[in-house]
Chain A
Amino acid sequence: MTDPQLVARAQEGDLPAFEELVKKYQREIYGLAYRLVLDAEEAKDLTQQAFMQAFVHIKGFRQQAQFRTWLFRIAINQCYNYLKNRKKFGDPVDCDEYVLVGEDSPEEELVAQEDHRRLYAALSRLPAKQRAVITLKLEQGLSYEEISKVLGGTAGAARVNYCQALKTLKKYMQNEDDYEVAVRPYPKMVTRVSRR
């Protein structure tokens, strides 16, 4: 069944139809939430909350819009609220560092690990909106037009934001080591994740 068909049924209160949509998009929403809050457990909660919100408001969804981008918008708002609260209560915006640890760790793998570690550290320093635009463009593959539907503003503004965000990320990655020593000498957390 297509999205518009499932949405139409969900709008009439058909829970299994809505759960079809959940299954279709849960991985994407989870990945997006994870990139935004950089915390696997919170990402799971926020993904559930996003679907709850979507279900409550699905009657107000207009079929001309894309269900996927509408869902992204809801999820991003949930994440923004979460980050705002975390900031308000003084919890530093920090990240889990998912570092791959293979059975045998050749030199290249160690270099890759170091790159990823610096990437996560740099990502965590970016403003949430810049993290969002980078994730939507590079990982979810949205066009600037679609990004503007999710984040608001125009497609032109989305392109400017993306350019700015990527340049900032690159700058942070270049000087991440200096920054870390100077600002936050936190211990590195290593989590094992399976590589697929």
Chain B
Amino acid sequence: MKWRCALIQRWLPAYPDGDLSPFWQGMVRSHLEKCPACREELAGLEAVVMNLKAAPRPEPDQAFWDNFNRELHLKLAQSVQSVPEPPPARFLKMPYYLLGAPALAGLLLWVAFGYLNPERPGLPPQPQLSQEQKALEKTPAAPRLAAPAPAPEKSEAVMMVSQNGHDMHGEDDLDLDGDLDSTLAGMTETEREAFLKKVRQHEKDGSCTRESLAVCWA
């Protein structure tokens, strides 16, 4: 087969219905006028189309469709009863008992966020000095997120400005610091008490950061 015939025959099935671009429609037409091989190929394709259109398909009678519709009606009615609302989001497709997990995670995040964000309004200020001290003394290295956190504080006493001018979180952030944690963890109770007292004193007058204090103490 000549290369031109191969090119034309590639598009021959779309030619009879005029589905080619005007350029290709013209190309094919003029080629067919002078090429018996491509004319024969086209005749063969048209015979297949004719054959296909004439091929019998099962054409069920009305009784078949009545039965079909009866069966389908039952299935549809059932699906209306069992699934009234298709779930809109993918994660809602999980079993209902699993929905508790994201809800709990959300609640924990909300609580933790509220706890870590002292600017959050609407929550009463707490007498936090003694509370914080107690928490520290009980579990100095415990991760905050795991515990049900107390309401966040909102007071100038809590907000501090470090020496380099960046905002620092209040005393409730004390044990979130890695170095400080390890320092506190290695102390006895009396040492810890003495250390925390010192921290507060230094922080009040701004003479020293906690980190540097921890290093000095160590």
Contact = CB atoms under 8 A, between A and B. Distances in A.
Interface stretch (A26-34, A64-72, A85-93, A178-186): A26-34
B76 A19 contact: yes
B19 interface: yes
Interface residues of B, number: 36
B56 A98 contact: yes
A51 B72 contact: yes
B59 A196 contact: yes
B205 to A, nearest CB: 65
B78 to A, nearest CB: 10
A116 B56 contact: yes
A134 B12 contact: no
Interface stretch (A1-9, A75-83, A164-172): A164-172
A193 B56 contact: yes
B48 interface: yes
A51 B76 CA distance: 9
Interface residues of A, number: 49
B144 interface: no
A18 B76 contact: yes
B13 A163 contact: yes
Contact of A22 (B10, B14, B72, B86): B72
Interface of B: 9-14, 19, 44-45, 48-49, 51-61, 64-65, 68-69, 71-73, 75-77, 79-80, 83, 86
Given A13-B80, A52-B75, 4 more contacts: A19-B72, A98-B56, A115-B51, A167-B9
